[in-house]
Amino acid sequence: MARDKNAQRTLRIIAGTWRGRRLSFPAGTSVRPTPDRVRETLFNWLGARIEGARCLDLYAGTGMLGLEALSRGARDVSFVERNRKLARHLGEQLGMLAGNGRVVCEEVEAFMRRRPELPFDFVFVDPPYVTPVEPVIGALAPFMAPDALIYVERAATDGLPDADGLCWQQTGRAGAVCFGLARLDGTPEQPA
């Protein structure tokens, strides 16, 4: 059976308040959603730490990482996506779910030039595989709360980056994807 390239595709929220909800995302984009198995592993690693957390979903695409975080109790998520079609659709999904977040339609590099109003507890970095992640990782320190973690996803053939100050806490591989959770040395100290 031939697939219609313009048909809406769907992804499933794995756990939390919206568990089992199927959310659509527009066809005709070069988006590569994080597989269910990888999302499940990531959120198992995060456990209860996600509850009440502020998250930043860079290169949001379908927004499934941030939406899964909201479903599992994150306080809010900022989604950054440059593709207007994806950003508009993500905003519609967020509104339909009544999720606490905002969608910023711009290049990640432009977003990173501004200071955040409040620091983030988790940052999801999952760009197209051809996009180098080291420059973004190098600019994250002002965006991160004490003890914040960064999630990075890459092609298994490329491996995870060995950026300065990146300390891998956990790593995994599923099929053609490698992924990991890291701390960034030099993140702000806990206030006294």
State the CATH number of the domain containing residue 147.
3.40.50.150
pTM of the model: 0.90
Number of domains in the chain: 1
Residue 4 lies in a domain: no
Query: What pLDDT is recorded for position 188?
Result: 42
Provide the β-strand partners of residue 149. Answer: 122
Q: Which amino acid appears at position 57 of this protein?
A: D
pLDDT digits (tens, 9 = 90+) for 81-127: 999 999 999 999 999 999 999 999 999 999 999 988 899 999 999 99
Q: Please state, for a pLDDT cut of 70, what percent of the chain lies above it.
A: 92
Residue 27 lies in a domain: no
Query: What pLDDT is recorded for position 136?
Result: 92
Query: What pLDDT is recorded for position 35?
Result: 85
Q: What would the two tokens of residue 172 be? A: 């995994």
Residue 57 lies in a domain: yes
Residue 65 lies in a domain: yes
Per-residue pLDDT averaged across 187-191, rounded?
A: 42
Residue 10 lies in a domain: no
Asked if the model's pLDDT at residue 186 lies above 80, the reply is no
- Residues 153, 10: Cα–Cα separation, whole Å: 21
| 146 CB neighbour count, 10 Å cutoff | 11
Average pLDDT, the chain: 89
- SS3 call for 39: helix
**Long-range CB pairs of 165-173, under 8 A, 24+ apart, other chains included:** 166/137, 169/45, 170/45, 172/38, 172/41
- Residues 99, 33: Cα–Cα separation, whole Å: 19
- Residues 56, 9: Cα–Cα separation, whole Å: 24
191: left (phi over 0), alpha (psi -120 to 50) or beta: beta
Asked if the model's pLDDT at residue 70 lies above 70, the reply is yes
Query: What pLDDT is recorded for position 187?
Result: 47
Asked if the model's pLDDT at residue 3 lies above 50, the reply is no
Query: What pLDDT is recorded for position 96?
Result: 93
pLDDT digits (tens, 9 = 90+) for 130-174: 899 999 999 999 999 999 999 999 999 999 998 778 899 999 999
Asked if the model's pLDDT at residue 192 lies above 80, the reply is no
**Domain that includes residue 119, residue range:** 34-184
Read off the DSSP letter of residue 128.
Answer: -
| 128 CB neighbour count, 10 Å cutoff | 11
- Element of type H or E holding 46: helix 36-46
Residue 5 lies in a domain: no
Residue 22 lies in a domain: no
Residue 16 lies in a domain: no
Asked if the model's pLDDT at residue 182 lies above 80, the reply is yes
